[in-house]
Amino acid sequence: MTPPKTSESGNNHLARNESRLRVRYAETDQMGVVYHSNHFVWFEVGRVELLRQLGFSYRDMEQIDDRFIAVVDARCRYRAPARYDDEIIVRTHLKNVRESVIHFGYELVRVGDGLLLAEGETTHIVTNAKMEIAALPDKYMKVFLSAIGRDVI
């Protein structure tokens, strides 16, 4: 087995997205900070924007191509509390892609002082609407591989 070819001249910058959001009051809890399940919702905001940056709409992926990316593993390490009205940068990174598995990494950073609030990863399998594992269509695969600097799976 040979290692995957890497292409330094690839579109590696495309594999990273920065999106902004502002903490909503509904996202806080009585400890006065953001409740910890919301970080996973923010990861999803970043994931969708990374797809958009790669030229894809996740809405179309579901409706037109009958492909869903279902979460099979999600993790978050909380470094500092996020607070109401904070502006947050969601840094999303396409870490790896295989035929039916996609792996994303995330950092949540506070605008202003750049404080790292949390880091996380999610792993997804590609399915059809019946939740059966399915291959990622070629048009996505090519762009995803290029973005992470690879030519082949």
The residues carrying an active-site annotation are: 29
Torsion of CA 138, 123, 25, 16, to 10 degrees: -60
Residues 75-104 that bind its own copies (CB under 8 A): 75-78, 81, 84-85
Alpha-carbon distance of 88 to 49, in angstroms, equals: 14
**Residue 3 carries which DSSP code?**
P
Instruction: Give the pair of three-digit tokens for residue 79.
Output: 């470094």
Stretch that binds its own copies, among 2-10, 27-35, 96-104, 134-142 (CB under 8 A): 27-35
Residues 107-136 that bind its own copies (CB under 8 A): 131
**Is 24 an interacting residue with respect to its own copies (CB under 8 A)?**
yes
Residues 40-79 that bind its own copies (CB under 8 A): 40-41, 44-45, 48, 57-59, 62, 68, 70-78
Alpha-carbon distance of 77 to 57, in angstroms, equals: 28
DSSP lists the bridge partners of residue 87 as: 22
* Residues lying near its own copies in the complex (CB under 8 A): 24-26, 28-33, 35-38, 40-41, 44-45, 48, 57-59, 62, 68, 70-78, 81, 84-85, 131
